Amino acid sequence: MSKNIVVLVSGGGTNLQALIDAEKNGELGNGKITCVISSKADAFALTRAADNGIKTRVLVRKDFSDIAAYSKAMRDALVEEKADLVVYAGFMTILDENVCDVFENKMINVHPALIPSFCGKGFYGLHVHESALEKGVKVSGATVHFVTAECDAGPIILQKAVAVEEGDTPETLQKRIMEQAEWKILPKAVQLFCDDKIKVVNGKTLISE
Ligand code: GAR
């Protein structure tokens, strides 16, 4: 039986596209993207999903009174979709334990920096790269990790370093990190998960290949 992958998005969806392309190339192992859920009704990621015949749903944060109510609605949607794996691909809302406890070690996120640098609340999208450039780091990158109720703190699955270049802007650094790291390690982590190659022991992952 293949594993149902539900992808959560909020924006452009280039990481979703990398997953769709990987599935087409037979690189998601035993996984199949069965649904895309967006926190924004106008996210371009929804168009990417529809163009590829993938079911879409929209759950807008502002339609719910607080994060607990939103998280419960998301949990119900994920259960309804029979999600075996939930992938945050540019999903910009922090869900609470109403979801994280039910899908423990079954939700993964891609973060555009080398955790524990430039992560946690407020570090998302271009802000991450602005902070990295402000600090003057010479190397940044991306991290794929399991999601827990604490933002960007779950067990790390894969990381890839990317050089910062002189004259970089947040936009050029973001683009390089996406191309060289995110679009590679996110599909790879999904494949490892779907092929049952990731174990979590004492808050760390063990990967067998
Ligand atoms: C990506 O760089 C992703 O790592 C980041 O937002 C971008 C979304 O792009 N996610 C976060 O910052 C989450 N903390 P995409 O919609 O084109 O995949």
Cβ proximity of 193 and 84 under 8 Å: no
The residues near 91 (Cβ < 8 Å, ≥ 6 apart) are 8, 9, 10, 39, 109
Calculate what percentage of the chain has a pLDDT beyond 70: 100
Question: Which amino acid is located at 176 in the chain?
Answer: R
Kindly list the protein residues whose Cβ atom lies closer than 6 A to any atom of ligand 1: 11-15, 45, 89-90, 110-112, 124-125, 128, 178, 182
| Residue 204 CA: distances (Å) to CA of 146, 156, 199 | 10, 7, 8
* pLDDT bucket at 187, cuts 50 / 70 / 90: very high
Dump pLDDT digits (tens) for 67-110.
999 999 999 999 999 999 999 999 999 999 999 999 999 999 99
- Which residue, judged by its Cα, is nearest atom 17 of ligand 1? 14
pLDDT value, residue 57? 98
- Indicate if 111 belongs to the active site: yes
The alpha carbon of 84 and the centre of ligand 1 are apart by a number of angstroms equal to 22
Asked if residue 209 has pLDDT above 80, the reply is: no
Q: Are strands 156-163 and 139-146 parallel, antiparallel or unpaired?
A: antiparallel
Q: What are the structural domains, with CATH classification, of the chain?
A: 3-111+144-161+181-207 (3.40.50.170)
pLDDT value, residue 1? 86
pTM of the model: 0.98
Most ligand 1 atoms within 8 A of CB, residue of 128, 148, 176, 190 to mutate: 128
Calculate what percentage of the chain has a pLDDT beyond 90: 99
Atom from ligand 1 closest to the CA of residue 12: 16
Atom from ligand 1 closest to the CA of residue 17: 18
Over range 45-59, report the average pLDDT: 98
Dump pLDDT digits (tens) for 2-45.
999 999 999 999 999 999 999 999 999 999 999 999 999 999 99
CA distance 209 to 198: 9
